[in-house]
Structure 1
């Protein structure tokens, strides 16, 4: 069976560095992490371009808007009325640190995570994305691609909780913050390009050691393997 470290090595060799998360500032990265909930990144990029064009990618300026003013600016991200409220809730929290991630540098990661999870509209994946990508904290981000890829590889059962999967990576993966960053991006890319709901096993670098690999000439097997 492949180990989490071996999977990282193989994916990095296959795809190369991903240069993720895109964003000109840490604040922009955090905003993107909230806006990307349930939508493709292209839609998020469109909304961020609009905010940048309006010179609103500054926490104080953005926080000065009401939800009704903000919502139309982020319309491409879907659920824009809800996301406007989520952004403002996040900014309420961010104000407590003077709108500066640098001022949160001395805070314990576990406390920051607890605070972010207490913000209405921010769940574990979004909180951990902000911690890892915007704040440089050693926190592994788990998403649907992580669960799919590692369940198919037999490393996960598939029924584990978010926190249980995260603890597994924290215990087994040898990397630091840059590698946590890279690994999550590689998993997302692999899940989108190859290990899809209907997997393209013939193109998979991990297929030889994958107990769930299927022949792409056998559609019935592919459907069975990708249930869920």
Structure 2
């Protein structure tokens, strides 16, 4: 599949999902820091659990980098307990806030305002932040066009034969980044629409009846890993 053919496939799929589900307006957050916190808390859990944990952080007046940096890790862990893996996630949140305080004087805007690739690479050096979390921070908190892929993206595209089942994260991200214009709104909506499709239809046990991709033509040979 050429880059032009791949771009055509990706754009047609986007239009079909947008017609089916409408704009998703994701990420639900009141501030960039809330996005960062949500990106860490959503690791290995459902969003409803993240929402509960974030509400508890707001109630405790801890949804602020300085306040979270000062709070005891044990107390933070207890507050975010609904998100699951709460001790691990508390350490990750504390590590992020410590880095922000020590290297950026607690200024999240300065941290996020850097060149996209520099910001992404820096995020990947932080404790507990992998590629998906880093790209979520870059795309939704920093508003920079770094495509987020997740388990749903891999499942949807591999089931249709567009990518191999065992494709690596960065290769799947490049599948999109290499052929698309860098557009923050498009990347945000696309990621959210794929998540919506995954929740509703492309589960581990697929529910294909009524799927908006029924009859969607294959896009050609899978991308080599």
Give the total of aligned pairs.
211
Asked if 1:195 corresponds to 2:202, the answer is yes
Equivalent residue of 1:207, what SS?
A: coil
Tell me which residue corresponds to 1:46. 52
Partners of 2:70 and 2:48 lie apart in 1 by 26
Asked whether 1:183 is paired with 2:168, we answer no
Give ranges in structure 2 of 5+ residues lacking alignment: 219-225
2:157 is aligned, of 150, 153, 163, to 150
Q: Residue 113 and residue 105 in structure 1: after superposition, are their counterparts in 2 closer, same or farther (change >3 A)?
A: closer
Residues in 2 aligned to 1:106 and 1:145: alpha-carbon distance in whole angstroms: 29
Q: Give the superposed CA RMSD.
A: 1.6
TM-score, with structure 1 as normaliser: 0.88
In the TM superposition, residue 93 of structure 1 has moved relative to its aligned partner by 2.3
Alignment-derived partner of residue 113 in structure 1: 120
Residue matched to 2:148:
141
Question: 2:21 matched to 1:15?
Answer: yes
Contact 1:109 1:137 in 2 (8 A): yes
Aligned partners of 2:48 and 2:164: how far apart in 1?
32
Q: What stretches of structure 1 move > 6 A for 4+ residues in a row?
A: none
Task: Report the counterpart of residue 85 of structure 2 in structure 1.
Answer: 79
Distance 1:125 1:137 in 2: 14
> How many Å apart are 1:196 and its aligned residue?
1.5
Q: TM-score, length-normalised on structure 2?
A: 0.89
Give the Å deviation of 1:106: 4.5
Instruction: Report deviation, 1:209.
Output: 2.3
CA deviation vs aligned residue, 1:145-186 (integer Å, no higher than 9, x gap) = 000001112211122210011111012234500110000000
- 3-state DSSP of counterpart to 1:208: coil
Q: 1:3 aligns to what SS in structure 2?
A: helix
